Structure 1
């Protein structure tokens, strides 16, 4: 019996191990490269003869301010995105009829618009309202661009909450707004956590908004600084890999802290 079970699980387990190795390989190569001296960079797979931490010193020195800028951009942008997504997704989850579906599908069309199409008009718009090269300007752009996806995510999550909960709250004298703030949002913690992780990763890793709407050290996020390690004539592979690994830490730590809530949220709040 045990042998039969082992045979059935051997293939799926092998596939998972192979997938894990494939996904981990770039991270391992980046780590090895970040610890090599310039003379060893060309030996991609080989282990470094001696740990060369100077790459991390260079990376930290050049990306220190931009790292703080990314935190200052990401945290408020995620909060605003979640708030807008929850407020807009709530009525769409409970609206009946063709009108609600029409509004919902209209918002979803925003997910089909690539950034490159609005890049130039957005540049002139942000500059005309005085928010070019500023952290509040990045808040506005990231929040606005996240409305379709956040609405889609929270609308579907709210729709998974039993409607009897809403009806019972109204019978007890709770207003729709009171139900949203006092009952629905607290019960949707896993969905909000999942969306927060998705949004934080997207905003933290953004490069196009960064290079289009910021120029100075006061607002440039870490992704734009990392891009600067690759010049037109030379690529600083060691500091580039070190800076990349440093920039990955906040997203990885956030996911590890909230991974259970993330999985529950993606499953539509199962077990609420």
Structure 2
């Protein structure tokens, strides 16, 4: 009788709706468990680095890699800092100017190729992108000869030039993709107001380019800081960056002192880690800002 009094067209909720919250909770739990597993796997090397850096010379061995230090000591950190501090300073002298210069040049290139079109712009853009796909090893000898012919001193000056040049393709790509999303009406309004190319770039596009600059600065800083191939070819242990000094620290007389090597590796990674902590939350948003054209 009650079924006859039910409104016509009313459907009984499916039986599976009663279990859908439980299924959703189970799926969410499985996803979190998988993420936790991935985090643990990623952090295992960090754990070994950290605990080994506080072990004494006799306590740091492959057999006790997972064990906590018998006696916690800061001697390894002191030795690593004394050895690497000059090289860290040289790395900062190299990375900061090369990152800023390549980001600025890439921004200019991206603006011209995206919004100030000229005949053959697509061909020029394609040729610039070729630089991203040329292996460093294939051009190392010609680069070395070019640096010698230009009279650029070996060490930090030559490394700055190389990182600027090799950073231009990727920075140009990122900025060009971002500037293509800027409304054309904004550029036309600047032209109507009498602004030329440089004034339009400086007063209109540069202030709204912060997301792309964040991406480029993180990318270039990390690549230049972690570079080892250029550093080996164009510098030495006396005038090279921290990667060369860290390699010498691991392969020198302190080879059996794993604690010093681990402390040095952590010290060398702190600047890039600090950059990601400060700017990391803007990285994904800035990277995606030029991926969808509005």
- Residue of structure 2 aligned with 1:221, choices 241, 246, 249: 241
The answer to whether residue 50 in structure 2 is matched with residue 17 in structure 1 is no
Gaps of at least 5 residues in structure 1 are none
Q: What is aligned with 2:130?
A: 109
What SS does the aligned partner of 1:230 have? helix
What SS does the aligned partner of 2:250 have? coil
Deviations 1:104-149 (A, max 9, x none): 1111111111111111221222223222323222111110111111
Deviations 1:206-226 (A, max 9, x none): 111111111252x31111000
- Residue of structure 2 aligned with 1:141, choices 149, 162, 168: 162
2:181 and 2:174 map into 1 onto residues whose CA distance is 11
What SS does the aligned partner of 1:41 have? coil
Q: TM-score, normalised by structure 1?
A: 0.92
1:197 and 1:150 map into 2 onto residues whose CA distance is 11
Q: Which moved more, 1:130-139 or 1:101-110?
A: 130-139
Q: Computing the radius of gyration over CA atoms, which structure comes out larger, 1 or 2?
A: 2
What SS does the aligned partner of 1:220 have? coil
Q: Which moved more, 1:3-12 or 1:48-57?
A: 3-12
The answer to whether residue 231 in structure 2 is matched with residue 210 in structure 1 is yes
Change over 3 Å in CA distance of 1:2–1:98 after alignment to 2 = farther
Equivalent residues of 1:207, 1:223 under 8 A apart: yes
CA RMSD of aligned residues (A): 2.1
- Hey, which bits of structure 1, 4+ residues long, moved more than 4 A? 95-98
Equivalent residues of 1:35, 1:48 under 8 A apart: yes
- Residue of structure 2 aligned with 1:126, choices 121, 124, 147: 147
1:236 and 1:200 map into 2 onto residues whose CA distance is 30
Q: TM-score, normalised by structure 2?
A: 0.85
Q: What is aligned with 1:231?
A: 251
Count residues with an aligned counterpart: 270
Equivalent residues of 1:132, 1:214 under 8 A apart: no
